Amino acid sequence: MSDTTTSFGLEIEQQDGYGFKVRFDRPDMPELRMDAQPPLGRGQGPDAERLIGAAVANCLAASLLYCLQGKFKNTPGPLRAQVRGELARNAQGRLRIGRLDVTIRLDDAAASLKHLDRCLAQFEDFCVVTESVRQGIPVGVRVVDAKGEPLLEAGTAG
């Protein structure tokens, strides 16, 4: 990669079993508890797989929102995103995230949003997390309008 212009940090500390406390490098961010799911952990917080899914969905939704609202001055209703992750075993039998599929649901009819076609064509490219994760995990993206009509389907599973 080229020059690093921004950095971030966090620290995790084991609390008990597979439970960890996450502290971020900003004092205004609350700590987060992570835990493996049973039978390893007690499921007292999200596991790493779910946080990756949440990060991908959040980045995609925020990127689409920025395009709609920040660039083209729309006032869309709340966006919702749903993630479906698949765990699969690799050739060595190790469990891995096999793929993530994200569906973003607009609260509005497509016709009511200015320049929606331009946003749909470019918002994924500006999503730092998704484009980074795609280096190793297939990520499908769907965008549907308020009625559930598909507006974009990119790399989605059947």
Residues 103 and 26 in one domain: no
Total number of domains in the chain: 2
- Look at phi and psi of residue 102 and say left if phi exceeds 0, alpha if psi is from -120 to 50, else beta: beta
Residue 122 counted as domain residue: yes
Q: What is the pLDDT along the chain (158 residues), one digit of tens a residue?
A: 566 788 999 999 999 999 999 999 999 999 999 999 999 999 999 999 999 999 999 999 999 999 999 999 999 999 999 999 999 999 999 999 999 999 999 999 999 999 999 999 999 999 999 999 999 999 999 999 999 999 999 986 54
Answer yes or no: are the C-beta atoms of 35 and 19 closer than 8 Å: yes
Which amino acid, 139?
Answer: V
Question: What pTM does this model have?
Answer: 0.90
Kindly state whether residues 42 and 53 are assigned to the same domain: no
Domain that holds residue 107: 48-154
30 and 95 assigned to the same domain: no
The secondary structure of 41-72 as a DSSP string is S---S--HHHHHHHHHHHHHHHHHHIIIIIIT
